A and B are shown apart, each in its own frame.
Chain A
Amino acid sequence: MTYLPKPKIHHPSLQRNRAGFIRRDYEGAISTLCAGCGHDSISAAIIQACWELDVQPHRVAKISGIGCSSKTPTYFLSASHGFNAVHGRMPSVLTGANLANRELMYLGISGDGDSASIGIGQFVHAIRRGVDMVYIVENNGVYGLTKGQFSATADAGSKSKKGAINNDAPIDMVGMALQLGASFVARGFSGDKAQLVPILKAAMSHKGASFVDVLSPCVAFNNHPGSTKSYDYVREHNHALCRMDFISKRDEITVDYPPGAVREVRQHDGSTLRLRKLPESHDTGDRVAAMNYLHECQARGEIVTGLLYVDPDAPDLHAHLETAPVAFNTLGEDELCPGAVRLESINAALR
């Protein structure tokens, strides 16, 4: 960690976005994570994405569990709402918040321990319910806060810092998210912001359950030879599906590349995802193909990154439940508490 707060002084050329903020306004406190932690780069990517999307910080709720990753909401969007939940319980707290106020943007910040071990049940159900959120797993394959034991996402055969070999099969959260019905599934790498920032922007604009797995090397405990989640290993085995551009509905869509190499996906909110250099075989609208492709790459020892699957028109939890179209805090007492007569009729219907 660093003892000093980051100086307030910023580069003279920083521009204000449409919300009236410079990028630095989306920062939080200075990180107390280890120097070089991939999580800090993810925080920086979230800051960049929020600034580029003209996000109003007070319209964001960042919710996390326990772990290095779950500490990071302190380090970005200091003007947003936040809730640091119990270990592995971020998804249910987020779901509850989302039901009460569907108008905020929900960032669920979790890690491989918080989501793939203690919280895997919560993860599974939040995804399958289609909660409108951006679920970010900062995935480093180890329990960093307890000094580097293998986590559930550690690859079989990978070596710990002390030399132990992991014999357990890894949980592939991207594969699970695809299978569980997430309507936006992507994987990024903390060391490649050029890819990560557009992914996050697209995920933030996506309505429905967005799942983003971000490989984030643990410099202290998982960045050695033999690790499969080190900076070097990920760089060597990264199979980037695509370079993605995110085009908000306001931006002009210009074409400056040969057609055929690009696929455009129009999202529900009018924004467009432009995917470049997709392999011919991959169709981001085909869930089964995405799962197959993911597993093929995995079998080849490649780490596939980029946008794997998106369903721009997927319904979310509120659609499933036919909830009120507005946030609870905008409803009056009469609507929130319809009275004894209405209760009586509901009860009668259940008899």
Chain B
Amino acid sequence: MQPTDIRKPDYFHKVVDCQWACPAHTQVPRYIRMIASGRYDDAYLLNWDSNVFPGILGRTCDRPCEPACRRGRVEENNGADVDKSRPEPVAICRLKRVAADNRSEDIEQRMRERLPDPVPGAERFRVACVGAGPSSLAVARDLAPLGYQVTVFEADAKGGGFMRTQVPRFRLPEHVIDEEVGYIFGLGVEFVGNRRIDSMRKLLDENYDAIFVGSGAPRGRDLHAPGRDEAAANIHLGIEWLASVYFGHVKSVGKRVIVLGGGNTAMDCCRSARRLGGDEVKVIVRSGYEEMKASPWEKEDAEHEGVKIINWLNPKSFVHENGKLTGMWFTPMRAEHDANGKRKLLPTGEPDRLIECDEVLIAVGQENAFPWIERDLGLEFDEWGLPKLDKLTLQSTNRKVFFGGDAAFGPKNIIWAVEHGHQAAASIHNLLQGEDVRQRPPPMTNLISQKMGIHEWSYDNDISVDERFVVPWAPKEKTLTNIHQEVELGFDVATAWKEAQRCLNCDVQTVFTKDICIECDACVDVCPMDCISFTTDGDEAELRERLTAPALNLAQDLYIGGPVKTGRVMAKDEDVCLHCGLCAERCPTGAWDMRKFLFAESYAGRGEDYSAKPAHKKVAA
């Protein structure tokens, strides 16, 4: 195998599984260390730089980082009772919330101190953002400090988009949205509320230098089945119903509620229904439990609140008595995989089932809708009605118009919307500066030894054996009777510290220098995870089989160093490395070193790490 070229930023970035998995590439281990050392403001601002909404995301993020977290892999087949203990990632998302919960009052001041310098002449340019959801707000956050005049248009009175109107208050209190949306508007962004943009042509006529469309995927998909129209009074589209709950138009729901759909919107619907009078709330899904789109924890939370999830039932028709909904017929389904492994749902042939109910919430998906964009503006749409975009720049076929968030590629989530915002902002910045829109400054990377003494490192390399801590909840009697009562109370500082200690510091990399290795095997012997081997070279597939411990997780790279003096190679399986640094502690020559890898994505107008601005070097850690 070729020796690994660790100069390529992607190599070590990939080892930081959480950061690699985060669409916005948030520097997770770094902010977790900040939380552990009580530097909540720094942790908050590091998050704020990458994901713009630490308080909101600390409660609602889809957390792609957590399934990726190495901790979840290393705990496998470990623990006192192997059968009972379940491998769990670090509670990254909830730690983010700890940073938000404990940030200081003057955070906005500290935020401003760390903003990038304005770009001379940027104030000449006007940028319009359509919709005040996360992607638009991220564009505004990135562009306003550079000096651009950014105007955000929003049909509702307040900013926040679906974060405000669709995410229920028991998951995300309104003050959190107010604060974090407020920070952005406080950067000199003009907010125009209660103004729905109903014509792209008119907007273009207003001569903005660039337009960003972050209007979401605002249309709930309907279910056209017999009885739908007759019983319409008791059937609602999930996202519209959630918005009505938010605005206070809906204050109660029938006792027996069926929620159709298996995504996170369905989970928000069923849990809201439980709080508005739904005693018997059932989520009914066409497919199996495992393949539901809802995050596992959201399913658990719903079930914890007494919601029943019923799988493998396909809605067939609505039953009503003179327009009053009384139930629904379902056809039992099963999955069949064809020769190509593609799954098809087929009826099992069992008799249909009638499930009685008073109200149905349809949460079977969302659709994009751009009735307000005239089709003769040079802005092309594809066969699914989505804008034709450059995947990197998010630029449409009208060079002035960019898309992001759910409006770009269909429904995703907040963190993806934020990342779209970053990319669109970078594109807009390039466009307005007359540069190639596709150009991206390289990420800022750095690799610094953490050695402080013979056996001392500037990170805590003592590996905690604690299992994941559970976030405390408000009592059910409270949460199920008051839809505004937040369910999760967040970690207290002491528990947060313990949870933070579970982080393996995957950004502190094991770096191997072949020329000073004496092949004493000390690293091989001490490695608690049997990650390191010195062996004859071979091709990857064969090499993976014959290492000290077989390296069977192909998603994780082998780090190849060498050839060493005997002609062998050093092969380290990155998969379950604890980053404990014992290899480096036991290495007599310093051929192993623990070096902190910093990877910071470059946002609009900046090619450097945000919190390592020269004037604020003290923040870097």
Residue ranges of A at the interface with B (Cβ–Cβ < 8 Å): 1-4, 6-14, 24, 30-31, 34-38, 40-41, 43-44, 190-191, 193, 217, 219-220, 223, 231-232, 235
Q: List 9 A-B contacts (CB under 8 A).
A: A4-B461, A4-B462, A7-B463, A9-B74, A35-B522, A35-B585, A37-B520, A217-B520, A231-B519
Q: A174–B251 Cα gap in the complex (Å)?
A: 90
Closest residue of chain A to B87 (Cβ to Cβ) is: A12
Q: CB < 8 Å: which of A10, A36, A38, A191 contacts B528?
A: A10
The interface residues of chain B lying within 8 Å CB-to-CB of A40 are 521-522, 525-526, 586
Q: Which of B77, B524, B580 has the most CB of A within 10 A?
A: B77
Q: Does B73 contact A (CB under 8 A)?
A: yes
Q: Which residues of chain B in 487-541 are interfacial with respect to chain A, using CB atoms and an 8 Å cutoff?
A: 518-522, 524-526, 528-531
Contact B463 A35 (CB under 8 A): no
Q: A193–B524 Cα gap in the complex (Å)?
A: 11
The interface residues of chain A lying within 8 Å CB-to-CB of B531 are 11
Contact with A along B458-475 (1 / 0, CB 8 A): 000111010000000000
Q: A344–B530 Cα gap in the complex (Å)?
A: 63
The interface residues of chain B lying within 8 Å CB-to-CB of A36 are 518, 520, 522, 586-589
Contact B522 A37 (CB under 8 A): yes
Contact A11 B549 (CB under 8 A): yes
The interface residues of chain B lying within 8 Å CB-to-CB of A223 are 518
- Nearest 7 A/B pairs, CB to CB: A36-B588, A7-B463, A44-B525, A12-B76, A36-B520, A12-B77, A35-B588
Q: A307–B582 Cα gap in the complex (Å)?
A: 33
Q: CB < 8 Å: which of B78, B461, B525 contacts A9?
A: B78
**Taking A13-B550, A35-B586, A36-B587 as contacts, is the C-beta distance between A7 and B465 under 8 angstroms?**
yes
Q: A7–B588 Cα gap in the complex (Å)?
A: 20
Contact B463 A9 (CB under 8 A): yes
The interface residues of chain A lying within 8 Å CB-to-CB of B456 are 3
Contact A12 B74 (CB under 8 A): yes
Contact B518 A231 (CB under 8 A): yes
Q: Does B566 contact A (CB under 8 A)?
A: yes
Q: A337–B585 Cα gap in the complex (Å)?
A: 55
Closest residue of chain A to B79 (Cβ to Cβ) is: A9
The interface residues of chain A lying within 8 Å CB-to-CB of B342 are none
Q: Which of A3, A11, A14, A231 has the most CB of B within 10 A?
A: A11
Q: Does B576 contact A (CB under 8 A)?
A: yes
Q: Does B137 contact A (CB under 8 A)?
A: no
Known: A2-B585, A10-B78, A231-B519. 14 other contacts (CB 8 A): A1-B455, A2-B582, A8-B528, A9-B75, A9-B528, A11-B549, A11-B576, A12-B73, A12-B77, A13-B550, A30-B526, A36-B589, A193-B521, A219-B520
Chain B at the A interface: SS class: loop
Q: Does B565 contact A (CB under 8 A)?
A: yes
Kindly provide the distance from the CB of A41 to the nearest chain B CB, expressed in whole angstroms: 5
Q: Does B578 contact A (CB under 8 A)?
A: yes
Contact B520 A235 (CB under 8 A): no
The interface residues of chain B lying within 8 Å CB-to-CB of A34 are 588
Q: A132–B463 Cα gap in the complex (Å)?
A: 41
Task: Count B interface residues, CB 8 Å.
Answer: 38
Q: A235–B455 Cα gap in the complex (Å)?
A: 29
Closest residue of chain A to B573 (Cβ to Cβ) is: A11
Closest residue of chain A to B463 (Cβ to Cβ) is: A7
Q: A120–B522 Cα gap in the complex (Å)?
A: 30
Contact B465 A8 (CB under 8 A): yes
Kindly provide the distance from the CB of A140 to the nearest chain B CB, expressed in whole angstroms: 12
Q: Which residues of chain B in 553-602 are interfacial with respect to chain A, using CB atoms and an 8 Å cutoff?
A: 565-566, 576, 578, 580, 582, 585-589
Q: CB < 8 Å: which of A4, A9, A193 contacts B465?
A: A9
Q: CB < 8 Å: which of A1, A10, A30, A191 contacts B521?
A: A191
Contact B520 A231 (CB under 8 A): yes
Contact with A along B225-250 (1 / 0, CB 8 A): 00000000000000000000000000
The interface residues of chain B lying within 8 Å CB-to-CB of A219 are 518, 520, 588
Contact with A along B61-79 (1 / 0, CB 8 A): 0000000000001111110
The interface residues of chain B lying within 8 Å CB-to-CB of A35 are 522, 585-588
The interface residues of chain A lying within 8 Å CB-to-CB of B76 are 12
The interface residues of chain A lying within 8 Å CB-to-CB of B73 are 12
Q: A34–B549 Cα gap in the complex (Å)?
A: 26
Contact A43 B455 (CB under 8 A): no
Q: CB < 8 Å: which of A6, A37, A38, A235 contacts B582?
A: A6
Kindly provide the distance from the CB of B342 to the nearest chain A CB, expressed in whole angstroms: 32
Q: A157–B136 Cα gap in the complex (Å)?
A: 78
Kindly provide the distance from the CB of B578 to the nearest chain A CB, expressed in whole angstroms: 6
Kindly provide the distance from the CB of B51 to the nearest chain A CB, expressed in whole angstroms: 30
**Taking A6-B582, A35-B587, A232-B565 as contacts, is the C-beta distance between A14 and B77 under 8 angstroms?**
yes
Q: Which of B521, B530, B550 has the most CB of A within 10 A?
A: B521
Closest residue of chain B to A22 (Cβ to Cβ) is: B77
Q: CB < 8 Å: which of A8, A13, A41, A217 contacts B549?
A: A13
Closest residue of chain A to B530 (Cβ to Cβ) is: A11
Contact A12 B576 (CB under 8 A): yes
Contact A7 B520 (CB under 8 A): no
Contact A190 B521 (CB under 8 A): yes
Kindly provide the distance from the CB of B189 to the nearest chain A CB, expressed in whole angstroms: 47
Kindly provide the distance from the CB of B80 to the nearest chain A CB, expressed in whole angstroms: 10
Closest residue of chain A to B525 (Cβ to Cβ) is: A44
Closest residue of chain A to B80 (Cβ to Cβ) is: A8
The interface residues of chain B lying within 8 Å CB-to-CB of A7 are 463, 465, 528, 578, 580, 582
Q: CB < 8 Å: which of B461, B520, B580 contacts A38?
A: B520
Contact B585 A41 (CB under 8 A): no
**Taking A12-B76, A12-B576, A35-B588 as contacts, is the C-beta distance between A44 and B582 under 8 angstroms?**
no
Closest residue of chain A to B462 (Cβ to Cβ) is: A4
The interface residues of chain A lying within 8 Å CB-to-CB of B455 are 1-4
The interface residues of chain A lying within 8 Å CB-to-CB of B74 are 9, 12
Q: A37–B576 Cα gap in the complex (Å)?
A: 26
Contact B465 A191 (CB under 8 A): no
The interface residues of chain A lying within 8 Å CB-to-CB of B550 are 13
Q: CB < 8 Å: which of A3, A12, A13, A41 contacts B525?
A: A41
Q: A2–B77 Cα gap in the complex (Å)?
A: 26
Q: A1–B586 Cα gap in the complex (Å)?
A: 8
Q: A7–B75 Cα gap in the complex (Å)?
A: 12
Q: A37–B589 Cα gap in the complex (Å)?
A: 12
The interface residues of chain B lying within 8 Å CB-to-CB of A8 are 78, 465, 528
Q: A219–B588 Cα gap in the complex (Å)?
A: 7
Closest residue of chain B to A1 (Cβ to Cβ) is: B455
Kindly provide the distance from the CB of A254 to the nearest chain B CB, expressed in whole angstroms: 18
Closest residue of chain B to A47 (Cβ to Cβ) is: B525
Q: A223–B520 Cα gap in the complex (Å)?
A: 11
Q: A44–B526 Cα gap in the complex (Å)?
A: 9
Q: A31–B529 Cα gap in the complex (Å)?
A: 17
